[in-house]
Each structure stands twice: as structure tokens, then as C-alpha cells.
Structure 1
């Protein structure tokens, strides 16, 4: 494995524990006059388009989703639901117990860190308030980039923000969005996080055929870094 200057992480299911939609999503559906299962179906089938920012602002995106689900899409209703939408995504998000310690250890070794997430508008609204935020040198969101993984542009955006060559980067992810094969295609060294809790993770377009390196915890990423020299 080449020397490492940076580690780029996926967010949901990687820096966080397994994610499932919690009860607050159903509350939003009912408040906007639609069936929760219908809303989930719309959220699932539009995820990639929403994560690429295809429907515009956060408010415009929620309006589109609620229209598709047959709910109350009046501007006043959508505006009132916006804070609840952010709160629902935040409630679904639990950082891994070793996320802060692993990121701290990586940075203490002179290695830069970043996150790349296929996400909708809500994550950029709340990630900056999480304990991992000060430990990330760059935060790359698909909804702001206009592309999702495995598009090369999203990986290269992280490398540009970190001022590193892709060949000097580890990419760590659970494998959603074909992210591991995408990372390999731009020259990064991909590593699958195969944590036990991910059996129940909400994932789209999983990298099911990936046969590369695996770790079972974020702490093991630190051990992997220690096995090769870092470029500082």
C-alpha cells in the first residue's frame, strides 16, 4: 500500500452507526397529510436525484417529495416542516463510538481527513455541529457538488480540498453508492468498513462485489495507517 497523506471517509454507516429512518419521518408525513409508507417510497426512489440537488433548494426538494406523495405542499406547510426534516435526519444519526478517537489519532499522525457523503440538504445543516466536524479538514456533500458517488468529480473535489493526490489517500466506506469501486477508479486505496451493525443499514446501490481490504472498526484504520509510512 502506498504512503498515506489523507483518509477520506463516507459519513452515513461509516462515521455513523447503521442508519434506519426513525419515527420522526412518519410524524412529518402525517403533519403534511400523507401516508408514511407512501412518503418512504418517494424518498427511496428519489434519493439519488435529491442527493444530486436535482430539485433545487431544501424547501423546493421537500415540496417536490410531498407533492409526489400526495400531501400538503403549500409553501406555508413546507416551511413549517423544514426544521422537523433536519431534526429527523439528525435523530437517525449516531456517531460510531470510536469516530472521534480515530479521527483524532489520524490527525495526530499528520494525516489529513475528509468526509464525502451522498446526502440531501439536511446533512450540511447539522454535521458542522457534530463532534467530528472540527476533526475533518474538508466536508464534501453531493447535494452541493451536483454529483453523487461513484462520479470521479466528487472524489477529486475532496483531493483538491485536501491538496493531495488520490494515490496518497485511503477511502473508507461501508460500500453504498458503489463508492469503493469509484474510489479505486480515481486511484485511491479503498477500504470497506464491515462493522457488524451494518447488516441493518439503509443503503442504496451497494458495492456488493468489492473484494478489497476490510476493517471492522474505525480504530483499525489507525492501525492500517501505522503499518505504512505517512507523507507529511
Structure 2
């Protein structure tokens, strides 16, 4: 038996686009860094580190560049933050965009994205054509929350509550999708059905199973 949902709420990077973690790993391999070194840097002091400050607009790209370098050097490798910023915007997943359109016919759709005040718009890309392509996806949401504009970021429980308030929905009647488990826990604690995204096929299969929607 599937539940009836009022809204499907989405993360963006790593959900509608290929995961930046893949780009991080390619960069690490090319630079002779340990596997997942960038994610390790970002996981140290996660509420106050360079990444957290950037996603809440407490520092700009230049400030992030220096702060990230200090954090990386403390872990044994000299890595500039500006190199990491260029890895953030992945490739669009058209089948997930189609799934969004289906979900929009069934109820409300929202997006909560931890992003940075870089690039063109919410997508964080500096490429005009790509920015336009991604903006067309962002335009389909009934409500969009960007951490860099709001000043708070996932997994702060307030950001999920604000989305439910904006959509005028009961959290217990929502599905939330994210590629980071730490970001799913607050949504789950509020009563949302949650899906951890590890890939495009898995996302579609799990969302179909939870909602009963034909997404393909």
C-alpha cells in the first residue's frame, strides 16, 4: 500500500545532477590526493567550517578559497578552495526532471538546496547555457529554498519546517530526497518519508515504490 502525499521535496545537486562527489574523486585521483579527501575536509567541524560558512553566505568565494586551504593543509595536503568550487555543478539528469514533472501533476513540489553565492543563479555554474538549462528546472518548483539566501542550511531542522510552511503541507504527507544521509534525518524526524539518492535508476525505483507514481 502506498501513501497519499501532498508534496515531494527535493535536494538538487546529486539528485537532479550527477553527484559532485564523482568530480571530487576525479580531482583527487588527478592530484594524487587520498580518495574522499575533499569530503573528509568538509566533514571536520561541519557546522562552522569553510563549507558551512560558504553555504550560508558568511564568506565569499575568495574567503572560502583561503579557509578551505587552511583546513586542507591541517589534514596534510595543500588544496585551494577555488579548485573545489569548479567541481560543484554536475550534469543534468533528464529522467529525474521528467519525474519532477510527473510529481507536479500529483501535488506540490519543493526544493531545498545547500548552495553557494557563486556562478549564475541557484545552479552555481558560470556557463551561460548550462545555467539556463538548470534555471528551467528550478522554475518548476512551487517553492525553492537556497541556503545561501536564507542564511541557514541543511541539516538545520528549521529549513524543512520553512518549506512545509511555504507549501502549506503536513510533513507527514511529504517525501524528501537527498544524496546525504545527514540531511535526511531531520526530515524523517518530522514524519517525512525519505529517500537517500545514490544514483538515477535507484532514485526512480525508490520514488515509484514509495508514491506509486509511474515515473518512467
Q: TM-score range by the shorter chain?
A: 0.5 to 0.7
- CA separation of 1:89 and 1:161: change in aligned 2, threshold 3 A: farther
Q: Which has the larger radius of gyration?
A: 1
The Cα shift of 1:171 comes to 0.5
CA RMSD of aligned residues (A): 3.5
CA distance in 2, matches of 1:169, 1:226: 14
Q: Taking structure 1 as the reference length, what is the TM-score of the superposition?
A: 0.62
Q: In the alignment, is the contact (CA less than 8 A) between 2:3 and 2:210 conserved in 1? A: no
Q: In the alignment, is the contact (CA less than 8 A) between 2:17 and 2:93 conserved in 1? A: yes
Q: Taking structure 2 as the reference length, what is the TM-score of the superposition?
A: 0.66
Q: In the alignment, is the contact (CA less than 8 A) between 1:89 and 1:123 conserved in 2? A: no
CA distance in 2, matches of 1:66, 1:8: 31
What is the aligned partner in structure 2 of residue 114 from structure 1? 110
CA distance in 2, matches of 1:10, 1:160: 17
Instruction: Work out the number of aligned pairs and report it.
Output: 177
CA distance in 2, matches of 1:123, 1:161: 26
- CA separation of 1:67 and 1:172: change in aligned 2, threshold 3 A: closer
Q: Segments of 4+ in structure 1 off by > 4 A?
A: 67-70
The Cα shift of 1:122 comes to 2.9
Q: In the alignment, is the contact (CA less than 8 A) between 1:106 and 1:222 conserved in 2? A: no
CA distance in 2, matches of 1:2, 1:138: 22
SS in 2 for 1:13: coil
SS in 2 for 1:171: strand
What is the aligned partner in structure 1 of residue 188 from structure 2? 184
The Cα shift of 1:123 comes to 6.9
1:166-185 equivalences under 5 Å are 166-176=171-181, 178-185=182-189
